[in-house]
Structure 1
Amino acid sequence: MKRARIEMSFVSEADASIVKKFFKSFYKENYSKLYIPSRLPEREFGYFTFEKKLMIRHLSFNSSQELWREIVEKTPLHIYHSAAFYKYPRAPMDAKGWLGAELIFDIDADHLKTPCEKRHDFKVCKRCRKAYPISLDLCPDCGQPLMKVEWICDLCLEAAREEARKLLSFLEDDLGFSKFRAAFSGNRGYHLVVEDESILELDQAERKELIDYITGTGLSMKLMGLEERVIDLETAPKLEDPSWRGRIAKAVFELLASQNYEILREVAGNSIAQTLINEIKEISKALGEHVPWNLMRPRLRRILFEAARELASAHIDVVVTQDIHRLLRLGNSLNGKTGLMAKMFDPDELDEFEPLSESVALPMDDELTVYVIRTPKFKLGEMEFEETENELKKLPAAAATLLLCKGAATLP
């Protein structure tokens, strides 16, 4: 198995050094707030340092004190633990002795089609310390490869939250799970872990079946009675139906009521969607307590079905969930891409959780002067920061760290 690698976003070694000092101070003062996984001695741990691109892994700890001591001493850029339990967690992968694994989910705005991405993402030349449009690959001045800066904003985080809502609904309402732990990733998404003994020994194929259900993979129009030329409203999906039948009916109803043509264009293409707009407008007039399946021509029915599946499914990182050896970011640790905490929270409070406020872990009262290469307008904690480019700025330590970790700023 290849060792995991990471590409450092810091513009300079001095940037990494100052951020490491902030991280070390945080861990010295807050080590006891870190999440301690159950069955700790059976977990594998791994971390990236500020100095090396390769992950240090195949570690294990017999007590929380051992883990805390390692973190305070080594000050990791990122730290992870296995979702799996092993007989010999320090052994190479093929000799660990797999004992089971938690069911984990990763939702990341990187995998979602958010319009804000085009507005706030950009690229940086580390050598020239300049920002460029996302479309460029090489620096126009020096010819060096450009580094992509993926920003975070309320819009992309809300998109990730909506996927987390849908995921929880599938897990609770359809699959019957009731106990979870949840965390903000510290960057652009959320992590969710099902805490249920019944799933620990599921193999990859069995986890793939759960993934397919949650993502709507292989969903059949025929089995829902929607491929007949004449639709029987008694057997067609209804709003009150359970599981995917009800989800499809609700999503189609929402598409018709809102006349959301954007998602139809994504499914069918601009030219086809345009020819269906008038048909949708007419059918929308007939909306009542049921979906008017019988008024749709087969082509529109299929397009609406596919759009509804896209709308109703939960967009998760399927590779993460299927991997029975996956490492998961340690709850309440710092994310080296932002300096924000991978803050754990009650899943029932997902709607109230404010990631860009509650995950701020570094000081907002200490200040650091940095050269801002570029940053969009952003909010952190209770403060708002204006769009800035090519300017020296004195910023709160937490905000300066965010920019340094992203490669959007450097020390002067």
Structure 2
Amino acid sequence: MEERTRAYLRGRFRDHYRRTEITPPPAANEREWGYIPWTDGPDTTMVRHRSLLELGDLSEFLVRKRPRHVYFSAGRFRDPGASSMHEKDWQSADLVFDLDADHLPSVTLGEDSYAEMLAKCKDALGRLLEFLEDDFAFENLEIVFSGGRGYHVHVRDENVLHLEREHRREIVDYVRGIGLEYDELIETETVAGLGRKTPTERRTLQIEGGWGTRIHDHFMAFIDELLAMEEDAALERLQEFDGIGEGKATATLNAARNNREGLEAG
């Protein structure tokens, strides 16, 4: 990049910082700050290990330095300006979810437009928020556009700030369904009655919340989709699943038509 171009961009960035009200994150003085200045040559340099005390007033710093990018850490430290993690002395951290459109399985790189990628990422964001708000009852959430491909969600509820790495991983695994066993969502009841020579088991999906409710809602939406189809199309749709032949497809469709109350109960 030519110096004339850099000078022009520095001026435009300064104008932006002058007219923009910057809202720092909570506990900004406990976070590490970093920034990328406008440097000569093709390479970029990250200035790290800065505390807000070293930067001074944030708005004045941005106008004065006009950095290309500015970052703050999710972690909070006793000495955020120290040069090593040990010296920084970790105290707590936001729980952060990073959604990148080009990492989503629903996105086809090279085919989806940028707008389509972001739309799919926004859909994934909505589903993530359902987990965080409905399943975990988190309330202190901040959603920010990452500046390119997706969104960041910062969870700052007090009861998550001090969680260790393995506990944070458990939350992420739950959201992603890693380790989810379907049988763990099933309640089994022994049923005996008139005319039965031997008791039998009734298996019911738990629908009081969590993954059970989410699976049940998806299942009932699929049932409604089937019932809206012509019979031949519905049977063909069911037989797309492994292990479902014509006989099982017919029985399943009849159950959907005649036993909706039972299906809605789980």
Q: TM-score range by the shorter chain?
A: 0.7 to 0.9
Report the equivalent of 2:209. 242
Report the equivalent of 2:37. 49
SS of the residue corresponding to residue 119 of structure 1 reads: coil
Q: How does 1:63-212 map to 2 (within 5 A)?
A: 66-92=57-83, 93-115=85-107, 117-119=109-111, 152-153=114-115, 155-212=116-173
TM-fit CA distance, 1:61: 1.1
SS of the residue corresponding to residue 156 of structure 1 reads: helix
Q: How does 1:330-369 map to 2 (within 5 A)?
A: none
Could you tell me whether the CA contact under 8 Å between 2:102 and 2:149 is conserved in 1? yes
Could you tell me whether the CA contact under 8 Å between 1:103 and 1:194 is conserved in 2? yes
Q: How does 1:199-348 map to 2 (within 5 A)?
A: 199-225=160-186, 235-237=203-205, 240-255=207-222, 257-258=224-225, 282=250, 283-284=252-253, 286-287=255-256, 288-289=260-261, 291=263
TM-fit CA distance, 1:203: 0.7
TM-fit CA distance, 1:251: 2.4
Residue type at the aligned position of 2:158:
E
What is the rounded CA distance, in whole Å, between the counterparts of 2:31 and 2:5 in structure 1? 29
| Equivalent residue for 1:22, pick from 6, 9, 12 | 12
SS of the residue corresponding to residue 38 of structure 1 reads: coil
Residue type at the aligned position of 2:61:
E
Residue deviations 1:369-398 (CA, integer Å, cap 9, x gap): xxxxxxxxxxxxxxxxxxxxxxxxxxxxxx
Could you tell me whether the CA contact under 8 Å between 1:84 and 1:100 is conserved in 2? yes
TM-fit CA distance, 1:45: 0.5
| Cα distance, 1:201–1:184 mapped onto 2, change above 3 Å | same
SS of the residue corresponding to residue 91 of structure 2 reads: strand
What is the rounded CA distance, in whole Å, between the counterparts of 2:135 and 2:242 in structure 1? 36
List structure 1 segments (4+ residues) > 4 angstroms apart after TM superposition. Answer: 12-16, 255-259, 272-282, 289-292
| Cα distance, 1:241–1:157 mapped onto 2, change above 3 Å | same
Unpaired runs of 5+ residues, structure 1, are: 1-11, 121-150, 260-271, 295-412
TM-fit CA distance, 1:20: 4.0
What is the rounded CA distance, in whole Å, between the counterparts of 1:15 and 1:234 in structure 2? 76
Structure number with greater Rg is 2
Q: Which has the higher contact order (CA 8 A, sep 6+)?
A: 1
Residue type at the aligned position of 2:143:
A
What is the rounded CA distance, in whole Å, between the counterparts of 1:177 and 1:217 in structure 2? 20
Could you tell me whether the CA contact under 8 Å between 1:40 and 1:63 is conserved in 2? no
TM-score, normalising length: structure 2: 0.73
Q: Which structure carries more helix by proportion?
A: 2
What is the rounded CA distance, in whole Å, between the counterparts of 1:234 and 1:241 in structure 2? 18
TM-fit CA distance, 1:243: 0.8
Could you tell me whether the CA contact under 8 Å between 2:55 and 2:61 is conserved in 1? no
What is the rounded CA distance, in whole Å, between the counterparts of 2:168 and 2:201 in structure 1? 34
TM-fit CA distance, 1:176: 1.9
Residue type at the aligned position of 1:180:
L
TM-fit CA distance, 1:193: 1.4
What is the rounded CA distance, in whole Å, between the counterparts of 2:125 and 2:201 in structure 1? 32
Residue type at the aligned position of 1:112:
L
What is the rounded CA distance, in whole Å, between the counterparts of 2:128 and 2:114 in structure 1? 21
Residue deviations 1:25-63 (CA, integer Å, cap 9, x gap): 211221xx2221222221101122343423211111139
| Cα distance, 1:110–1:40 mapped onto 2, change above 3 Å | same
What is the rounded CA distance, in whole Å, between the counterparts of 1:233 and 1:253 in structure 2? 23
What is the rounded CA distance, in whole Å, between the counterparts of 2:2 and 2:184 in structure 1? 59
Identical columns (%) = 30
Report the equivalent of 1:301. none
Residue type at the aligned position of 1:79:
V
Aligned length: 233
What is the rounded CA distance, in whole Å, between the counterparts of 2:205 and 2:131 in structure 1? 18
Could you tell me whether the CA contact under 8 Å between 1:40 and 1:62 is conserved in 2? no
Q: How does 1:6-21 map to 2 (within 5 A)?
A: 12-13=1-2, 17=6, 18-21=8-11
CA RMSD of aligned residues (A): 3.4
Residue deviations 1:144-198 (CA, integer Å, cap 9, x gap): xxxxxxx621x22221122222222212211122221222222221121122111
Unpaired runs of 5+ residues, structure 2, are: 189-199, 227-238
